[in-house]
A and B are shown apart, each in its own frame.
Chain A
């Protein structure tokens, strides 16, 4: 008999309908769990003070109308870079300490309309600057598998929230790996939609040209349900696409992958990766073959160039996006920025400054074109490309100190797909040193259905979707 914190979205709904438990029951159960384990994990920065009242209202709705909204009564953790009215939003930075948003983000608005209930806001790398959650001004989040390890980032809090089973589903965002990498390090499923698939209005901007809101959840199926809700053209975001949203869950539950052609990226296996991780990836490739897919080795541009592209583009855009934080209309003064944030603003200001713009920003965007073109070419012959999400398992707390390029190095395998705006699913594919390893399945722009279908098939035919026993690990 599954416990309340082990349920997927549909299992929660079945429970509600069968009157096995109420929304209030579920929320109280989760809050108790959070009370017990969060102090050691530092997943949540703020809890929703109105959650029980909202749960009561939901129970009333269920009693009167049944489950008439896709996410009715589903408890969620929201990454703290999404503006949520009534719950503080800080992007894990002191400069926004105590900030109560004046408006709701597009994505959380859609989630609320679909009936979701927010448990709280999760810790992240300060302003999403990092791949560890260690640059948070409020302390790092600890990996539920091993609290001396980092959860990854920047959506580390959201990934840990799923791994620790504090909520049913979580919301994160990815600029270059920030959904997939923490999902990989925490052993959960993360889904990055195509850039422009979900609206960024109300998501505190990091790199405007790559930021993509997306779900982190227990299963691919749950991420597909969230994707359905948050995707679609947003009138408040000029970079969202009018491409119709597919009904993602309807593409799942395929029994095999016959006819699917998969590219295994050679360069991703050549980077400084431990042999054990390589082994897991090759085993994953074998699994795909077993499921009927064709798997071939393919070559992409050396991933090291993605580091350069991402570093320049991201820091340039960040330096500009954080200019509005001047302490006049909201927040505190600019000396409240953390070290990593200051560093990124400075470097971005430098790369955009006169005399350097052509050499850095323009050059980076030209190399980006080559990456995009290369992927477009590959996707003419392949349905998806796969590889590890991260060169190794979760690193220890403190590993990021004095490493200004830490994030970029860690994200070397995911940066190319992020800067090209592609869609990708990260799923667990095994363990190394008792820590989870994640596999990425990347598809072309607006091929979310395909990416989810492949990932879902793989996940249902493997046993890596595990969750730590916190009484043992903490």
Chain B
């Protein structure tokens, strides 16, 4: 018996967040597999963590910064910056037109 059952509807929502297109058979497969995986993850609830804080950094380092200087050695020439792209034009990367109203928008 699963503690949490993940339904295909949820998988579809996640796929949208993850910018992945899934086939219906994948959606169902993932729903099943995630349900199993979440069972394993939920085992963590057997561990009492009330007395400890979460660790996001195992190095123990703090305050790591760099000086405000220009690093010309790493700046890529335009041709190199564009070299991996399938579609470029006049120095720009090219993507099919974004529709600003529906799913996405620039946050800033």
Q: Which residues of A come within 8 Å of B, CB atoms?
A: 99-100, 102-103, 195-196, 209-210, 235, 238-239, 241, 301, 304-305, 307-309, 311-312, 319, 323, 326-332, 334-335, 337, 342-343, 345-347, 349-351, 353, 360, 362-370, 372-373, 404-405, 408, 419-421
Let me know if B86 and A235 touch, CB within 8 A: no
**Is the beta-carbon distance between B17 and A349 smaller than 8 angstroms?**
yes
Task: Determine the chain B residues whose CB is within 8 A of the CB of A304 once the complex forms.
Answer: 43
Q: Does B58 contact A (CB under 8 A)?
A: yes
B47 pairs with A239, CB closer than 8 A:
no
Asked if B43 and A308 sit within 8 Å, CB to CB, the answer is: yes
Q: Which residue of A lies closest to B41 (CB)?
A: A308
A126 vs chain B, min Cβ distance (A): 15
Contact B47 A335 (CB under 8 A): no
B14 engages A349 (CB within 8 Å): yes
Q: Which residues of B contact A351 (CB under 8 A)?
A: 41
- Number of B residues, CB within 8 Å of A: 47
Q: Is the C-beta of B45 less than 8 angstroms from some C-beta in chain A?
A: yes
Q: A239-B59, A345-B20, A404-B37 are in contact. Are A370 and B30 (CB under 8 A)?
A: no
Q: Can you list 28 pairs linking A and B with CB atoms under 8 Å apart?
A: A99-B84, A100-B83, A195-B59, A196-B59, A209-B57, A209-B58, A239-B64, A241-B59, A307-B40, A308-B40, A308-B41, A311-B37, A311-B40, A328-B93, A329-B84, A329-B85, A337-B20, A342-B20, A346-B15, A346-B34, A349-B18, A350-B10, A351-B41, A363-B44, A363-B49, A366-B54, A368-B54, A421-B58
Contact yes or no, B59 A311, CB < 8 A: no
Query: When A342-B26, A370-B47, A372-B58 are in contact, do A405 and B37 touch as well, CB less than 8 Å?
Result: yes
Report B-chain residues with C-beta under 8 Å of the C-beta of A372: 55, 58
Across the A-B interface, the 10 shortest Cβ-Cβ residue pairs: A330-B84, A365-B54, A366-B49, A421-B58, A349-B18, A308-B44, A238-B64, A369-B52, A404-B33, A369-B55
Given contacts A241-B61, A335-B21, contact A311 B41 (CB under 8 A): yes
**DSSP majority for the A interface?**
helix
Chain B residue with minimal CB distance to A235?
A: B66
Interchain CB contact under 8 A, A363 and B86 = no
Which residues of chain A come closer than 8 Å to B53, judged between CB atoms? Answer: 366, 369
- Is A343 a contact partner of B30 (Cβ separation < 8 A)? yes
**Min CB distance, B53 to chain A, in Å?**
6
Using CB atoms, name the residue of chain A closest to B82: A329
Chain B residues, Cβ within 8 Å of A102: 76, 80-81, 83-84
Max chain A Cβ within 10 angstroms of own Cβ: one of B6, B36, B37: B37
Give Cα A23–Cα B107 distance, bound, in whole angstroms.
Answer: 55
- Shortest C-beta distance, A113 to chain B (Å), equals 14
User: Which residues on the B side are within 8 Å of A308 (C-beta)?
Assistant: 40-44
- Residues on A with beta carbons closer than 8 Å to the beta carbon of B43: 304-305, 307-308
Q: Bound complex: CA of A343 vs CA of B11, how far in Å? A: 11
* Chain B residues within an 8 Å CB radius of A312: 41, 44
10 additional contacts, CB 8 Å, given A102-B83, A239-B61, A346-B34? A308-B40, A308-B41, A309-B44, A328-B85, A346-B15, A346-B18, A350-B14, A363-B44, A364-B41, A370-B52
Residues from chain A with a CB closer than 8 A to the CB of B72 are none
**Complex-state Cα separation, A408 to B47, whole angstroms:** 19
What's the least CB distance linking A331 to chain B, in Å?
7
> For residue B17, which residue of chain A has the nearest CB?
A349
**Shortest distance in angstroms between A411's beta carbon and chain B's nearest beta carbon?**
13
Question: A337–B37 Cα gap in the complex (Å)?
Answer: 21
Instruction: Across the interface, name the chain A residue whose C-beta is closest to B54.
Output: A365
Quick one: which of B20, B64, B74, B84 contacts A346, CB cutoff 8 A? B20
With an 8 A cutoff between CB atoms, is B70 at the interface? Answer: no
Report chain A residues within 8 Å CB of B40.
307-308, 311, 405, 408
Of all chain B residues, the one with the shortest Cβ separation from A345 is B18
Nearest-CB residue, chain B, relative to A209 = B58
- Cβ distance A337 to chain B, nearest Cβ, rounded Å: 7
Report yes or no: A305 in contact with B58, Cβ–Cβ below 8 A: no
Bound together, the chains give a CA A372 to CA B49 distance in angstroms of: 13
Is the Cβ of B85 less than 8 Å from the Cβ of A330?
A: yes
Complex alpha-carbon distance, A353 and B17, angstroms: 9
Q: Is the CB of B54 within 8 A of A326?
A: no
Counting chain A CB atoms within 10 Å of each CB, which of B15, B42, B45, B59 scores highest?
Answer: B59
Best-surrounded residue of B11, B20, B21, B74 (most CB of chain A within 10 A): B20
B95 interfacial contact with A, CB 8 Å: yes
Which listed residue (B57, B74, B95) contacts A103, Cβ 8 A?
Answer: B74
* Shortest Cβ distance from A236 into B: residue: B74
Cβ contact of B19, chosen from A334, A362, A364, cutoff 8 A? A334
- For A337, what are the chain B residues with a Cβ–Cβ distance below 8 Å? 20
Contact status A239-B57, CB under 8 Å: yes
Question: Which parts of B53-108 form the interface with A (CB within 8 Å)?
Answer: 53-59, 61, 64, 66, 74, 76, 80-81, 83-86, 93, 95
A287 to B42, CA, bound (A): 40
Task: Report the nearest A residue to B76, measured CB to CB.
Answer: A102
A367 to B34, CA, bound (A): 21
Name the B residues within 8 Å of A238 (CB-CB).
61, 64
Q: What is the CB-to-nearest-CB distance from B41 to chain A, in angstroms, rounded to a whole number?
A: 5
Q: Which residue of B lies closest to A354 (CB)?
A: B17
**Distance in angstroms between the alpha carbons of A328 and B95 in the assembled complex:** 7
Q: How far does the alpha carbon of A311 sit from the alpha carbon of B37 in the complex, in Å?
A: 9
CB distance from B46 to the nearest CB of A (A): 8
Measured CB to CB, the closest approach of chain B to A211, in angstroms, equals 12
